[in-house]
């Protein structure tokens, strides 16, 4: 009996303790909750500010690593420092200083993405995108770019980026209508290199994209754009095909169209892999980088090749 009475007494005591409210009642409780909310809100704001600061640091690092760092390669720094020193000390004549400075300034200029964008546009903007196969097209002609031969850990030949983009574009055109012949043109630049020809490597890839083997026509002897046009024209005429779509990079279309025109074939250009598609006004467009130099070199190669073909009567 005393045990049960003791238990009841303990329960009564706990109930009384729970019913006791601190001084100030509900108002004190609300103030405590408000202070807790303020502390939690302050902590959230601090965490948010910390995340924003970290994101800003990451963005600054990316800006430096991708743009400023490439604009200041180790080889260029001594040259820039030497030019500045020469102009400050003036130990050389102004003419000699200009002879050194102007080529360096030209290199910096063609290293600027904004300049390379305009250079690429001089070729690409002449032929707008044509993503639909014309109804009158009887065939698709795909010119090769580059193929990396097998060797070492590379077990088979691999298409380079340009050849890959051209094949993907040709496959899309092929599937837009009734099946038609797809002529892939390209041999080996180095006859002694291992692996297949560019045309064979492209044909294997197109087979995996759903192009029928019976629709593939291979031209495997050409090594230049002019030879692409000569040999492809022979195959097209043998099959009685006069209207065909020409697939190549946008930057290469200008010269390729004129090479086929010189062979009496007026093909319908369907360029792909545009590099000067859109210009974004930003700081990095005016920071030199090696990619812009490669683009300008590509444009220079096309214009110089066009001039060379024109001089030799190949256009």
Side-chain half-sphere exposure of 191, counting CA atoms within 13 A: 2
pLDDT, tens digit, 9 for 90 and up, residues 277-287: 887 788 788 88
Domain that holds residue 91: 76-110
Same domain, 274 and 162: yes
DSSP 285: G
Same domain, 93 and 176: no
pLDDT tier for residue 160 given thresholds of 50, 70 and 90 = very high
- CB under 8 Å to 279, separation ≥6 — which residues? 114, 117, 285
pLDDT tier for residue 103 given thresholds of 50, 70 and 90 = confident
Same domain, 95 and 230: no
pLDDT tier for residue 246 given thresholds of 50, 70 and 90 = very high
Q: Which among 205, 248, 245, 198 is positioned nearest to 221, based on CA atoms?
A: 198
Query: What was the pLDDT predicted at 22?
Result: 46
Same domain, 83 and 161: no
Residue 274 inside a domain? The answer is yes
Tokens standing for residue 126? 């002449």
Give the Cα separation of 249 and 271 in Å (integer): 5
Higher pLDDT among residues 20 and 115, named by residue: 115
Residue 197 inside a domain? The answer is yes
Give the Cα separation of 116 and 302 in Å (integer): 14
Give the Cα separation of 161 and 166 in Å (integer): 9
β-pairing, 139-143 vs 268-269, is: unpaired
Same domain, 105 and 185: no
| The model's pTM | 0.70
Residue 305 inside a domain? The answer is no
Residue 248 inside a domain? The answer is yes
Residue 99 inside a domain? The answer is yes
Same domain, 134 and 271: yes
Same domain, 177 and 275: yes
- Beta partners for residue 78, in sequence order: none
The values of phi and psi at residue 249, to 5°, are: -65, 150
Residue 205 inside a domain? The answer is yes
Same domain, 138 and 93: no
- What's 137's domain CATH number? 3.40.50.620
| Tally of domains within the chain | 2
Same domain, 180 and 103: no
Same domain, 230 and 97: no
- The CA radius of gyration of the chain, in Å to the nearest whole number, is 35
Give the 3-state secondary structure of 111-171. Answer: CCHHHHHHHHHHHHCCCCCCCCCCCCCCEEEEECCCEECCECCECCCEECHHHHHHHHHHH
257-to-57, 123, 126, 128 alpha-carbon distances in Å = 49, 12, 12, 14
Same domain, 187 and 86: no
Give the Cα separation of 185 and 273 in Å (integer): 18
DSSP 204: H
Position 93 pLDDT exceeds 90: no
Residue 85 inside a domain? The answer is yes
Position 47 pLDDT exceeds 90: no
Question: By 3-state DSSP, what share of the chain in percent is helix, strand and coil, each rounded to 5?
Answer: 60, 10, 30
Are 154 and 148 contacting, i.e. CB atoms less than 8 angstroms apart? yes
Position 236 pLDDT exceeds 80: yes
For range 102-127, the mean pLDDT: 87
Give the Cα separation of 264 and 232 in Å (integer): 12
Same domain, 85 and 144: no
Position 120 pLDDT exceeds 60: yes
Neighbours of 3 (CB within 10 A): 7
């Amino acid at each position: 009996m005393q045990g049960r009475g003791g238990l009841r007494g303990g329960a009564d005591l706990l109930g009384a303790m729970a019913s006791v409210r601190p001084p100030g009642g509900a108002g004190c409780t609300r103030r405590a909750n408000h202070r807790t909310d303020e502390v939690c809100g302050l902590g959230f704001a601090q965490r948010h500010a910390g995340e924003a600061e970290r994101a800003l640091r990451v963005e600054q690092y990316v800006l430096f690593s991708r743009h400023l760092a490439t604009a200041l390669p180790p080889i260029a720094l001594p040259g820039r420092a030497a030019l500045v020193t020469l102009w400050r000390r003036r130990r050389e004549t102004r003419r000699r200083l200009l002879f050194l400075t102007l080529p360096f300034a030209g290199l910096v200029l063609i290293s600027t993405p904004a300049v390379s964008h305009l250079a690429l546009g001089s070729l690409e903007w002449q032929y707008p995108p044509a993503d639909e196969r014309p109804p009158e097209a009887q065939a698709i002609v795909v010119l090769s770019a580059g193929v990396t031969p097998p060797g070492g850990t590379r077990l088979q030949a691999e298409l380079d980026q340009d050849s890959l983009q051209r094949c993907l574009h040709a496959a899309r055109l092929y599937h837009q209508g009734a099946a038609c012949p797809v002529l892939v043109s390209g041999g080996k630049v180095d006859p002694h290199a291992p692996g297949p020809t560019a045309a064979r490597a492209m044909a294997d890839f197109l087979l995996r994209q759903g192009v029928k083997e019976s629709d593939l026509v291979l031209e495997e002897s050409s090594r230049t754009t002019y030879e692409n046009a000569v040999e492809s024209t022979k195959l097209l005429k043998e099959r009685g095909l006069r209207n065909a779509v020409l697939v190549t990079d946008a930057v290469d279309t200008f010269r390729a169209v004129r090479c086929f025109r010189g062979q009496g074939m007026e093909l319908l250009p369907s360029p792909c892999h545009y590099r000067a598609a859109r210009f974004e006004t930003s700081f990095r467009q005016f920071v030199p980088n090696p990619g812009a130099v490669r683009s300008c070199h590509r444009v220079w190669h096309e214009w110089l090749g066009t001039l060379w073909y024109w001089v030799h009567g190949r256009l």
